[in-house]
């Protein structure tokens, strides 16, 4: 039996449209109704035939759904929750895919009292946005982290876990605050560093003209891919996970100063020892199947996986 038979998706960008495609592929009998704030996106989704129905508003989309998944930027969750609240059927599960979890849990629980709010985060994505960027296999073999509130209904948590497993994901359940600390390390700080480095290089470009682009080798080029990620989404991630990101940024800054000192004093041993440790981390990511072992990050492959 299917874990859910009537699913509504609000926000049909990269993640929402990938979800719709993945549901179609894995659970074709699910009745799928979707919506998006943008009329251009709604029209495109209808053209692509990604759902049974494309509703004009979020409220209309969730009527009769047994699972609602919010795929909008983290900063838009409160508005969407307020819009759908009066239309939800009893026992509907409301979940999301936001990259920040504690803030989303607080916002959704406040806006939807008495509703089964069970946030989730599929740790899969690309630097692209919009409904044309989505693809059905985005979640295959990737982790989906489910962050239920302490008194969540265990049956509903299991149904949501089963739903993500059917889409090909591996599922982990953890506390929302813990998720935010882990993702600050694995995703949020790396994005912040990429935004910062590419910003610095673009300032330097004033001096060096097109040389930054012309000679962009592996390192810089990889940072530019991450720094091309959606500006609205990432603005909301940093504002939504402020505490964990700031704490980590403090530690990172200290470590950067230590590296600066090692370079200044010619401490090659310190540099080599750090670079040896970091190479081992790369090895374990490959061993756990979270990236390919191909040189140049498997650039020949069609879809790049970002750390988010």
Subset of residues 216 to 235 that bind ligand NAP, contact rule: CB under 6 A: 230, 233
Instruction: Give me the least distance between CB of 32 and ligand NAP, in Å please.
Output: 16
CB nearer to ligand NAP: give 131 or 148.
Answer: 131
Supply the minimum distance, in Å, between the C-beta of residue 151 and ligand NAP: 24
Other CB atoms within 10 A of residue 34 CB? 29
Nearer to ligand NAP, 212 or 224 (CB): 224
CB nearer to ligand NAP: pick between 180 and 230 = 230
Rounded least distance, CB 34 to ligand NAP, Å: 10
Task: Tell me which residues in 129-148 interact with ligand NAP (CB under 6 A).
Answer: 129-130
Contact status: 119 vs ligand NAP (CB under 6 A): no
Per-residue x/- mask for ligand NAP, residues 245 to 274, rule CB under 6 A? ------------------------------
What character string, x for contact with ligand NAP (CB under 6 A) and - otherwise, covers 73-102? xx-x--xx----------------xxx---
Q: How far is the CB of 1 from ligand NAP (least distance, A)?
A: 28
Q: Is residue 169 involved in binding ligand NAP (CB under 6 A)?
A: no
| Residue 223 · residue 198 · CB < 8 Å | yes
| Nearest CB to ligand NAP, comparing residues 12 and 156 | 12
Question: Which contacts (CB < 8 Å, 24+ apart) does range 20-24 have?
Answer: 20/45, 20/50, 20/51, 20/134, 21/50, 21/134, 21/135, 21/136, 22/136, 22/137, 22/138, 22/139, 22/167, 22/168, 23/167, 24/50, 24/136
Q: How many residues does the chain have?
A: 308
15 binds ligand NAP (CB under 6 A): yes
Alpha carbons 216 and 193: distance in angstroms, whole number: 17
> Which stretch in 8-16, 22-30, 158-166, 277-285 sits in contact with ligand NAP by CB under 6 A?
8-16
Q: Which chain residues interact with ligand NAP by CB under 6 A?
A: 10-16, 36-38, 41, 58, 71-74, 76, 79-80, 97-99, 122, 125, 129-130, 230, 233, 237, 306, 308
């Amino acid at each position: 039996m299917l874990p859910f038979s009537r699913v509504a998706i609000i926000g049909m960008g990269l993640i929402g449209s990938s979800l719709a495609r993945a549901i179609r592929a894995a659970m074709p009998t699910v009745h799928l109704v979707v919506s998006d704030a943008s009329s251009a996106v709604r029209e495109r989704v209808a053209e692509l035939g990604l759902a049974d129905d494309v509703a004009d508003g979020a409220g209309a989309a969730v009527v009769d759904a047994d699972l609602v998944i919010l795929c909008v930027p983290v900063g838009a969750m409160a508005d969407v929750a307020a819009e759908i609240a009066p239309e939800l059927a009893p026992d509907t599960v409301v979940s999301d895919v936001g990259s920040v979890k504690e803030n989303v849990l607080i916002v959704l629980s406040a806006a939807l009292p008495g509703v089964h709010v069970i946030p989730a985060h599929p740790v899969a994505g690309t630097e692209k946005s919009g409904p044309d960027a989505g693809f059905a296999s985005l979640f295959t073999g990737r982790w989906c982290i489910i962050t239920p509130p302490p008194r969540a209904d265990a049956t509903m948590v299991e149904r949501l876990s089963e739903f993500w497993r059917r889409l090909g994901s591996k599922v982990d359940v953890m506390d929302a605050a813990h998720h935010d600390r882990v993702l600050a390390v694995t995703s949020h700080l790396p994005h912040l560093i990429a935004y910062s480095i590419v910003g610095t290089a673009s300032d330097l470009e004033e001096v060096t003209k097109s040389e930054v682009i012309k000679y962009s080798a592996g390192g810089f080029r990889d940072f530019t891919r991450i720094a091309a990620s959606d500006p609205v989404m990432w603005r909301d991630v940093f504002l939504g996970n402020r505490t964990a990101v700031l704490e980590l940024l403090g530690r990172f800054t200290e470590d950067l100063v230590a590296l600066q000192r090692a370079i200044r004093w010619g401490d090659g041993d310190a540099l080599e020892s750090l670079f040896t440790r970091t190479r081992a981390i790369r090895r374990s990511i490959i061993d756990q199947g979270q990236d390919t072992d191909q040189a140049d990050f498997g650039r020949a492959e069609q879809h790049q996986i970002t750390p988010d």
